Amino acid sequence: MDITNYEFFQEPEMYETVNGKIVMMPRPTLEHSRIVSKLAHYWYICKKCDCNMYIEPNLYLEQQHLIPDLAIVCDKSKLHEIGIYGAPDVVIEVLSPTTFQHDKFVKSKIYAQYGVLEYWLVYPREKEIEIYCLNNKNGYTLHHKFNLDGNTQVKSTVIPNFEFSMSDLFDV
């Protein structure tokens, strides 16, 4: 049985177009959604943040269509009604066992190629966050790995006022 592209893309599942291939993305777990919501909350209480944060936006990087968990955009000209066209300043992915490989290895290369300045990986099970910064070789360098040792404050290198406590994020 054949279905048209229109019928295919009307399903409630999320999809991405990566290197010319359609990749179906599983719906997030409750823990994943809780973490994304808390990160968005921390963003909205951030003072002097002239940029915008979006939850699961459509992100268009030429022929690539990605759906990051969170994207922070400072250049308003990249914002359009149906999504973001061009590299956000910061992308945050909350990892799960089903998306780990795709987020950490495939999407990170695309984000670096198109100039996303800072890339975060949040590990819910391990209660860790890795922040990567774009280097001058079109790749990322690990800037800092945060865990629950002490009262660790997570802070963006690109958006200086965006910070929060690891223990608050993970309800510890």
| 117: nearest Cα among 137, 93, 135, 144 | 135
Pick the CATH number of 5-169 from 3.40.50.10240, 3.60.20.10, 3.90.1570.10, 3.90.1010.10: 3.90.1570.10
* Those residues with Cβ within 8 angstroms of residue 164's Cβ, 6 or more apart along the chain or in another chain: 39, 42, 153, 154
What was the pLDDT predicted at 71? 98
What was the pLDDT predicted at 137? 80
Low-confidence ranges of the chain (pLDDT < 50): 1-3, 6, 8-11
What was the pLDDT predicted at 19? 84
Asked if residues 93 and 69 have their Cβ atoms less than 8 Å apart, the reply is: yes
What was the pLDDT predicted at 5? 54
What was the pLDDT predicted at 153? 92
What was the pLDDT predicted at 152? 87
Task: List, for residues 27-59, the tens digit of each pLDDT value.
Answer: 788 899 999 999 999 998 886 678 999 999 999
What was the pLDDT predicted at 28? 82
What was the pLDDT predicted at 150? 66
The strand pairing partners of 81, in sequence order, are none
Q: β-pairing, 83-85 with 59-61?
A: parallel
What ranges do the domains of the chain cover? 5-169
What was the pLDDT predicted at 4? 54
For the chain, what is the total number of helices (H) and then of strands (E)? 5, 14
